[in-house]
Amino acid sequence: MTTLEQQIENFDYSSLFTTEYKERIAKEVEVENKEKEQKKYAEQMNKYSMEIKDYTTLKVCKRCQGTGEIKSYRHIANGVCFACGGYGKV
Ligand SMILES: [Zn+2]
């Protein structure tokens, strides 16, 4: 003989949800995690390719001669070279 309290405590609340519902939720969580992973992966790849670009294909910016700034444009955005974004290489 179980008390009402025990029955409440032992009640399997997940039985309230249908198998389809549980599967749908599980799938949603899975998709969400996958999307997060893909986004993270894409960000890493993007960063990685930027690094590769830095070391192999970038050329000295002709606009600023690699300094990243144009002195005559100091009054605009501190003279940051718009051609290379202040990096000095493109
Ligand atoms: Zn530049």
* Mean pLDDT split into 10-residue runs, the chain, 90 residues: 84 82 90 91 81 72 93 88 90
Residue 68 belongs to what H/E stretch? none
**pLDDT for position 55:** 58
DSSP 8-state symbol, 80: B
**pLDDT for position 54:** 58
At a CB cut-off of 8 Å and minimum separation 6, what does 79 contact? 69, 70, 71, 72, 73
**pLDDT for position 47:** 79
**How many H-runs (helices) and E-runs (strands) does the chain carry?**
2, 0
Which residues make up the environment of ion ligand 1, defined by Cβ < 5 Å? Answer: 61, 63-64, 81, 83-84
Q: Which two tokens stand for residue 45?
A: 């790849």
CA separation, residue 77 to residues 59, 72, 86, 87, 88 (Å): 23, 11, 10, 14, 15
Please tell me the distance between residue 76's alpha carbon and the centre of ligand 1 in angstroms.
14
**pLDDT for position 52:** 67
Please tell me the distance between residue 51's alpha carbon and the centre of ligand 1 in angstroms.
18
Which sequence spans correspond to the domains of the chain? 17-57, 59-90
Please tell me the distance between residue 53's alpha carbon and the centre of ligand 1 in angstroms.
16
Q: Which of 90, 45, 51 is nearest to 67 (CA)?
A: 90
**pLDDT for position 20:** 87
**pLDDT for position 53:** 60
* Whether the predicted model's global pTM rises above the 0.85 cut: no
